[in-house]
Amino acid sequence: MATAKKKTTKKSASKSKKPAHFKSFKVVRENAPFMSFKITEQTVYWSILLVLILILALWILNIQINLSSILDSINPV
């Protein structure tokens, strides 16, 4: 039994790829002046979040004041 030799051929180097061309950022004019005030959905969301945080802070302050008065009534100095 004779084994047939396989022909080995080397592939030639593929064409060099051109480096990807990146576009630089372009300066775009603003739609509105920087110091303008406009109420958007985000303004409403942040306002609601601010109100909830203030309510939570006042609630915690109220709990601390109540706890302090309870402790003072139990153990007067």
Kindly give the confidence (pLDDT) of every residue in the chain, 77 residues in length, as a single tens digit, with 9 standing for 90 and above: 566 666 666 665 566 677 777 778 888 888 888 888 889 999 999 999 999 999 999 999 999 999 999 999 998 76
Q: Go through the chain and tell me how many residues it has.
A: 77
DSSP conformation class of 75: S
pLDDT of the residue at 25: 84
Which residues in 24-56 are b (16+ Cβ under 10 Å) and which e? eeeeeeeeeeeeeeeeeeeeeeeeeeeeeeeee
| Distance in Å from the first CA to the final CA of the chain | 109
What's the one-letter identity of residue 24?
S
Scan for tokens 């609630």, then name that residue.
Answer: 59
pTM comes to 0.52
